[in-house]
Structure 1
Amino acid sequence: MQYLYLHGFASSPRSGKAQYFRDRFEELGQSLLIPDLNQGDFFHLTLSRQIAQVAALLSPGEPVTIIGSSFGGLTAAWLAEKHPQVVQLFLLAPAFEFASHWLPRLGNQYHRWQETGVLEVYHHTAERLLPLSYDFAKDLLAYDDRQLQRPVPTLIFHGLQDEVIPIEASRRYCEGRPWVSRVELDSDHALKEVQPAIWGMMLPLIREQLA
C-alpha cells in the first residue's frame, strides 16, 4: 500500500498537519509521501497541475490511500475518480464547492484578478503574499464536484466551526454517495486540536490495510 498526504492551498509539506501524520506513519514503520504541490512555482498553481503531479507519483499496480487536507482533499477526490488504484480516501475539511465559497469572498479583488491576471495570496508557509495567476480560477471553474462518482471508500473529517469551507459542503457531498462517511468535529478549518482524535479513527482502517 502506498500512502500519500496532500497539503492544502497556500500551504506546504511543512504544515503542522502534514508533519503530524508523517510522524504517526513513522510510528507504524510506514512511509508517508508528502509532495510539495507548490512545485517551486506557486504562481502557476492549478488543480489540474496538482492532479497531474500526484498521478505521476503513483506506483503502477500498487494500491494507494490518500490523506488530503482542504484543497489537497479536493485533489485527492479527483485522483480517486481518475485512478482505480486509489482505494481509500481520508479527507480533512475537503475543499468541495471551493470556487463557490472562495471566489465570492474576493469581492472587487476578483474583478481585478480577471483584468490583471494576478492575485496576491497569503501563503501560510512562506508567511507573505505571493502572486497567483488567474489561470488558477479558470482551471478550477472547469471542475464540477457532481462528477465525482467513483465509489471509493471515503472518510471525511470536518469542523463544525469551519470558516473557510462550510461543513454544509461536506454534508452535501455525502448525499447520494453511500461509500462516503463523515465525522463532524468541534473545531475549525485547521482541525489542529482534534488531530489525535482523527488519527484514532483512521488508525483501525490503516491497520486493517497493513494486516
Structure 2
Amino acid sequence: MQFIYLHGFASSPQSAKAIYLRDRFAAVHHTLQIPDLNQGDFTQLTLTRQLQQISAQLPADEPVTLIGSSFGGLTAAWLAEQHPQVQQLVLLAPAFAFLSHWLPQLGTEKIQQWQQQRYLMVYHYGEKRSLPLSYEFARDVPQYNDDHLLRPVPTLIIHGIHDEVIPIQVSRDFAKKRSWVQLIEVDSDHALSNVMPETWQAIQTFCQLQ
C-alpha cells in the first residue's frame, strides 16, 4: 500500500499538518508521499491540473491510500472516483461544495473584479505572501459535481464542528448518502490543529498501521 498526502488550497508540503503526518507515518515505518500541488505555479492552479498531476504519479498495479486536506480532500475524492488503485480515502475537512462556500466570503465586488481582471490576489500560506490566482480556477471547479462521487471506496472523514471555511454539514450530507463513509466529528475548526493526535489515532486505526 502506498500512502499519498494531498495538501490544501494555498498550502504546501511544508504545512504543519503535512509534516506532522509524515513524521507519524515514519514512526510506524511507512513513507507518506507529499507532492507539491502548486507545481511552482500557483497562479495557474485548477482542480483539473491537480487531478492530472496525481493521476500521472499513481502506481499502475499497487493499492493506494490518499489522505487529503480541504481542497486536497476534494482532489483525493475525485481521484478515487477515477482510479481503481485508490482503495482507501482519509479526508480531513474535505472541501466539498468548495466554491459555494469560498466565493461568498470574497464578496460580489471582488468576484466581479476577479472575472474582469482575470487574476485575484490570494494569500498563500506556504509562500507566506499573496500570489495571483487565475479566474480559470473558478471556471474549472463547477464541472466536478460532488453528487457524482459514487464509487464505494472505504472512506474516513474527520471534520471540525466549528469549521469556519467548509461547514461540517457538508460532510454530514456526504456521509449520509454513502454507507462506505465513516464521519468523525471533532471539537475543532478547519485547521484541525488542536486535534492532530486524535486525528492520527483515527488514521492509524482506519489504515491498520502497525
Interval containing the TM-score (normalised by the shorter chain): over 0.9
Counterpart amino acid of residue 193 in structure 2: K
TM-score by length of 2: 0.97
Counterpart amino acid of residue 140 in structure 1: V
> Is the CA contact (8 Å cut-off) linking 2:157 and 2:182 kept in structure 1?
yes
Alignment of 1:35-114 (within 5 A): 35-107=35-107, 108-114=109-115
1: distance between equivalents of 2:62 and 2:19?
24
2: distance between equivalents of 1:206 and 1:148?
21
> Is the CA contact (8 Å cut-off) linking 2:89 and 2:156 kept in structure 1?
yes
Counterpart amino acid of residue 158 in structure 2: F
User: Any runs of at least 4 consecutive aligned residues in structure 1 with deviations exceeding 6 A, and if so which?
Assistant: none
Q: Which residue of 2 aligns with 1:130?
A: 131
Counterpart amino acid of residue 131 in structure 2: L
Give 5+ residue unaligned stretches, structure 1. Answer: none
Helix, strand or coil at the partner of 1:174: helix
Counterpart amino acid of residue 151 in structure 1: P
Helix, strand or coil at the partner of 1:9: coil
Q: Which residue of 2 aligns with 1:154?
A: 155
Counterpart amino acid of residue 56 in structure 1: A
> Is the CA contact (8 Å cut-off) linking 2:156 and 2:206 kept in structure 1?
no
Counterpart amino acid of residue 147 in structure 1: H
Counterpart amino acid of residue 72 in structure 1: G
Moved more, 38-47 or 169-178: 169-178
Q: Offset at 1:126? A: 0.9
Helix, strand or coil at the partner of 1:138: helix
TM-score by length of 1: 0.97
1: distance between equivalents of 2:148 and 2:206?
26
RMSD over aligned CA atoms reads 0.9
2: distance between equivalents of 1:9 and 1:81?
20
1: distance between equivalents of 2:102 and 2:11?
16
Q: Offset at 1:205? A: 2.8
Q: Which residue of 1 aligns with 2:183?
A: 182
1: distance between equivalents of 2:185 and 2:86?
24
Alignment of 1:8-23 (within 5 A): 8-23=8-23
Counterpart amino acid of residue 202 in structure 1: I
2: distance between equivalents of 1:104 and 1:144?
19
Moved more, 98-107 or 148-157: 98-107
Q: Offset at 1:160? A: 0.6
Counterpart amino acid of residue 83 in structure 2: H
Seq. identity, %: 59
